[in-house]
């Protein structure tokens, strides 16, 4: 099964993607995590993206596609996964189009798109508690704006193309996971 999970920063998409990946034997592909690893390891890519992430802007589409392509198309026979869940990707229309092209060229399908919905006040409260480098109030505001302006519009396309499931992300972690699993089966 291949899934995409979308939601504003602080909606819990990383947590839910991790839980669903374990339950459904999916590879958890988080572009944010991959980028943060690159920053921590001080790779060339890491050096290029550090200030962009700290501001809460989006890193270049080309760079993100380089991370995504092998993760969604390359599988080894002994991999434990039976598909993938994309967390934090796509983030804008260009990335959504690039993903469509990539998947159709490999004849890969997406079985569902999960959208976690939360009120902005809940988001701000959750992120203040998490305290990542890009969780400062100013950066959070920018990340919420980027989500509304760039990411949410992808849903118009996805509603025409895929099964899109909207879930209330302000419930407890376990309840959100249960609801999603119920919707998928």
Residue of 20, 22, 15, 19 lying closest to 32 (CA atoms): 15
Per CB under 6 A, 28 contacts ligand AMP:
no
Q: In angstroms, what is the C-alpha Rg of the chain?
A: 16
Residue from 35, 39, 85, 123 in contact with ligand AMP (CB under 6 A): 35
Per CB under 6 A, 12 contacts ligand AMP:
no
User: Rounded to 5 degrees, what are φ and ψ at 12?
Assistant: 95, 15
- Looking at residues 70 to 109 of the shown chain, list those that interact with ligand AMP (rule: CB under 6 A): 88-89, 91, 95
Nearer to ligand AMP, 3 or 134 (CB): 134
Q: Closest CB to ligand AMP belongs to which residue?
A: 32
Per-position x/- string for 136-155, each x denoting binding to ligand AMP as judged by CB under 6 A, each - no binding: -------x------------
Q: 146: which 2 tokens?
A: 């980027």
Residue of 55, 65, 54, 62 lying closest to 31 (CA atoms): 65
Number of residues in contact with ligand AMP under rule CB under 6 A: 17
Per CB under 6 A, 10 contacts ligand AMP:
no
Cα dist from 113 to 38, 128, 146, whole Å: 27, 27, 20
Cβ neighbours of residue 4 under 8 Å, at least 6 residues apart? 85, 86, 89, 90, 110, 112, 113, 114, 158, 162
Residue from 4, 26, 38, 59 in contact with ligand AMP (CB under 6 A): 59
Which residues of the shown chain bind ligand AMP in the complex (CB under 6 A)?
Answer: 9, 31-32, 35, 52-53, 56-59, 64, 88-89, 91, 95, 134, 143
């Amino acid at each position: 099964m291949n899934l995409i999970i979308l939601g504003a920063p602080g909606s819990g998409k990383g947590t839910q993607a991790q839980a669903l990946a374990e339950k459904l034997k999916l590879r958890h592909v988080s572009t944010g995590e991959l980028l943060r690893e690159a920053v921590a390891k001080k790779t060339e890519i890491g050096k290029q993206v550090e200030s962009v992430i700290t501001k809460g802007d989006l890193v270049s589409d080309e760079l993100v596609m380089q991370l995504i392509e092998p993760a969604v198309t390359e599988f080894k026979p002994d991999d434990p996964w039976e598909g993938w869940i994309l967390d934090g990707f796509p983030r804008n229309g260009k990335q959504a189009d690039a993903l469509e092209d990539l998947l159709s060229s490999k004849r890969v399908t997406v079985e569902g798109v999960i959208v976690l919905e939360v009120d902005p006040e809940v988001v701000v409260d959750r992120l203040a508690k998490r305290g990542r480098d890009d969780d400062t109030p100013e950066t959070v505001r920018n990340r919420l704006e980027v989500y509304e302006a760039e990411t949410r519009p992808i849903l118009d396309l996805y509603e025409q193309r895929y099964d899109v499931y909207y879930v209330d992300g302000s419930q407890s972690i376990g309840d959100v996971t249960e609801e999603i699993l119920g919707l998928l089966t």
